Amino acid sequence: MDDDYTSIEDYFSNEVYLTHSSDYEELLSNNSRPELSPRDPTELVLMYAFNAVIVATGIVLNLVLVKGIIGAKSNGALLFVLQIALIDVLTLLTCNWELYYYIRRTWIFSKLHCTLYSGLESFTSVAVVYFIIGLNFHSISSYNLAVELSKNALATPDAESATESLTEENNYEVATDSISQKRSLTIDYRYKKRRISVRLPILLVWFIAASESLPLFLFADIETLNPADSAEQPIKQYCTELTNTVANHNIVSLMVIAIRIILPSVALVITLAQTSG
């Protein structure tokens, strides 16, 4: 069953490959950086400073941005910015797990924390990339729409007469049965063309991020490795994704490669080509 284990670093790199249990110990037990003791004051100072300066400040600033966008009832591109700010808050909340994992070089939290860490880190990584891609596409679409409206305005010799004719064309007589009175209903179809809906792309991005992170929520678990010389070295614990069969491993690997590497790369190339053109 060891052959089905895949480390979280593998999922977040450009290669996803089958990892043996011995590879964990060889990779993470190197002495390239000193390991801090559990009660090392340097670790406490680093953690308190990181939480006070980076995490707390980042969360407050992002929440201020969220409140400003919601209060202004903004739409369009600012809704993408709102989603990115929310994702940044989730990223800052999960970065403590990663920092502890990096410093200790072993997982010190419970299985529930491991599940939340693996799933949320994957969720936020995928979501922020696709929201940026959605913002790029929205900007390109808005620019194309503005160019089209400018061409239509230049092609119309008399803007006022065109407006009046369009208004008269979109007027409908609505009769009320109670008082038999006619009322004029104006439908301005030009206003509808000036808006580009972003609700469906935003919902689609949330769905993609949730779908990609679901296997990590399901398969994340703690793997305990006993060192060869257990008398001198402590037991290592790693937060990783455990799959029951090789088929499940291949499915998860292909999905990670497609969603996190191939699709974003293709989308970014398309937006770059549209911008250059």
Block residue for tokens 């491993």: 249
At residue 244, the pLDDT reads 67
At residue 64, the pLDDT reads 93
**Domain presence at residue 166:** no
Query: Tens-digit pLDDT profile for the chain (277 aa)?
Result: 444 445 444 444 443 334 444 444 444 444 444 444 445 677 777 777 888 888 889 999 999 999 998 888 777 788 899 999 999 999 998 888 888 887 777 888 888 888 898 889 889 989 999 999 888 888 888 888 887 878 877 766 554 444 444 344 444 344 444 444 545 544 444 444 566 778 888 999 999 899 888 888 887 888 777 766 655 667 778 787 776 677 777 777 787 788 888 888 888 888 878 776 6
- Which is nearest to 149 in space by CA: 137, 161, 162? 162
Q: How many domains does the chain have?
A: 1
* 223 vs 220: CA distance, rounded Å: 10
**Domain presence at residue 16:** no
- For 100, the domain range is 40-150+196-276
Assign residue 60 the CATH number of its domain. 1.20.1070.10
Q: Are 60 and 120 in contact (CB under 8 A)?
A: no
**Domain presence at residue 208:** yes
| DSSP run (H or E) holding 240 | strand 236-242
**Domain presence at residue 260:** yes
**Domain presence at residue 131:** yes
Token pair in block for residue 103: 């410093």
**Domain presence at residue 158:** no
At residue 101, the pLDDT reads 80
* 96 vs 93: CA distance, rounded Å: 7
CB-neighbour burial class of residue 69 (10 A; exposed 0-12, middle 13-18, buried 19+): middle
At residue 124, the pLDDT reads 92
- Which is nearest to 163 in space by CA: 133, 201, 190? 190
**Domain presence at residue 96:** yes
At residue 131, the pLDDT reads 92
**Domain presence at residue 45:** yes
At residue 88, the pLDDT reads 93
